[in-house]
Amino acid sequence: MGSAWMHVLFLLLAAISAAAEAAAASGGEALRREADRVRGLPGQPAGARFRHYAGYVELQHPDEHKALFYWFFEAQADAPRKPLVLWLNGGPGCSSVAFGAAQELGPFLVRKDLHNGTHLVLNRFSWNRVANLLFLEAPVGVGFSYTNRSEDLSRLGDHVTAGDSHSFLMGWFQRFPSFRSHDFYIAGESYAGHYVPQLAEVIYERNKGGHGSFINLKGFMIGNAVINDPTDTQGLIDYAWSHAIISDQLHDGIFKECDFSSSNMTVTLLCSSLFRDFLVAYSDIDIYSIYTPVCDLPDWSAAQRLTITPRLLAGHDLRQELPSGYDPCTEEYVEEYFNRKDVQIALHANLTGLPYRYTTCSRVIKGWKESADTILPIIRKLLDAGLRIWIYSGDTDGRVPVTSTRYSVKEMKLRVKEEWRAWFHKQQVAGWVEIYEGGLTLATVRGAGHQVPVFAPDQSLSLFTHFLATDALPSTRR
């Protein structure tokens, strides 16, 4: 009997100790959350009546020393009842803070003028009007995110990024436990056509496993997204021809000499030469926004980027010749702003003194070791699992154009539920939309380039709002 009571006493003491440890950990995370609160951001405009936080989450992997940087904005109203949305930019290697938060859909956009220098303006069409917004710089080597082991920068790829992003979320929800029960969505653009579905798949599989890792994932939305190499490449060429950028001869020559099939993407010398001619055709315009002016600042040239291109070009030194795509004038302002020491202190960033400047797209990542040929099977799997998935396309983007997206979606052979039609915003056609059985919606945004919220902020907010509300896009002028 004495032994039994001793055993009960031991279990009781263990339970008390575990509860105390959990409470201490919870209290520690609450302190860290409060320490992450941004209170005096330089250049922040008046009128922002929402809280925002920034800082690092260290990843809990054995023998790894990684820390990912985030910037989180609570919704402008009724934050406890609004969904939580994670935004990811692509590249791979480009920053969601520098692009998504500071140039596209965040509440503060970076600007520069003669009187104020680099500063922030309120974005009237910020997506935190309807959701809590979380921006993540991933993988390590992007923006302020870092690793203490330089060899990590040469081991990056799709799989590592998805796993690290999931580990980040586990740590972030410990720091912000009140958001764990919120409806959770992921959104992103460009190479986030890989990041977003791959992370969603990891969440879906881990949710099935339990063990305290459940995330209330409801769906995702991707824009001008890289999702299927063969059709992405075919659509790239067809778009340039259909918009009078390349000649009949160049278009026909590429289709004759280049193999677009994912199983046998061989590149002949003639094919390589034709693709160089293709790039030359875009050399004086912005491939990511074909109808807008290019930057004319005298001392600025766009940085080289680690940009995944169709596998057709791999190994032929053509990747870095692709036009950069983002507005280099705005990029200069963003880089200048985030390299300011007072800004970094306010955002609790660069605490370790990184040995390189902050850049919009990473210059320290040493290659991309693993990139899937296609993401379509993952999209199909998650549709079958009941997730809501919207794919949208700014129709003046030549880099991941609407033709590529339509060809890729067609490859999935989904049944059409509602045929192609116009959708409206403020009594004007905002784009076109088609709805498929099983939960997939394909929408275009008229007159928008690769970064849709930059070129069509009002329409993109409407698109996002309808996505969250599970509402069909308006079919009349109203």
Catalytic annotation, residues: 190, 397, 450
* Collapsed DSSP state (helix, strand, coil) of residue 220: strand
Residues 358 and 143: beta-carbon distance below 8 Å: yes
Helix (H) / strand (E) containing 424: strand 416-425
Q: Which residues contact 373 (CB under 8 A, 6 or more apart)?
A: 228, 229, 230, 262, 311
Given a contact cutoff of 8 angstroms between Cβ atoms, the answer to whether 458 and 464 are in contact is no
User: CA nearest 50: which of 34, 39, 42?
Assistant: 39
Tell the residue number behind the tokens 């928008």, with chain if given. Answer: 448
Q: Where are the alpha helices (DSSP H) in 68-150?
A: none
Please tell me the distance from the alpha carbon of residue 183 to that of residue 204, in angstroms, as a whole number.
14
| Residue (of 417, 370, 395) closest to 194 by Cα position | 370
3-state DSSP: the chain helix, strand, coil percent, rounded to 5?
40, 20, 40
H or E stretch including 122?
strand 117-122
By DSSP bridging, strand 184-189 and strand 416-425 are: unpaired
Q: How far is CA 284 from CA 292, 324, 396, 478, in A?
A: 11, 12, 16, 40
Of 27, 30, 54, 28, the C-alpha closest to 40 is: 54
Helix ranges (DSSP H) in 142-247: 158-175, 192-209, 229-242
The answer to whether 110 and 342 have CB atoms below 8 angstroms apart is no
Entry field: residues in the chain: 478
Triad 373, 376, 377: Cα angle to 5°? 100
- E-only strand ranges, 298-379: none
What's the Cα-to-Cα distance from 125 to each of 392, 428, 447, rounded to whole Å? Answer: 18, 18, 17
* Helix, strand, or coil (residue 170): helix
Query: What DSSP state is assigned to residue 295?
Result: P
- 322 CB-near residues (< 8 Å, 6+ apart): 279, 287, 307, 309, 399
Q: Which residues contact 413 (CB under 8 A, 6 or more apart)?
A: none
Amino acid type, 76: Q
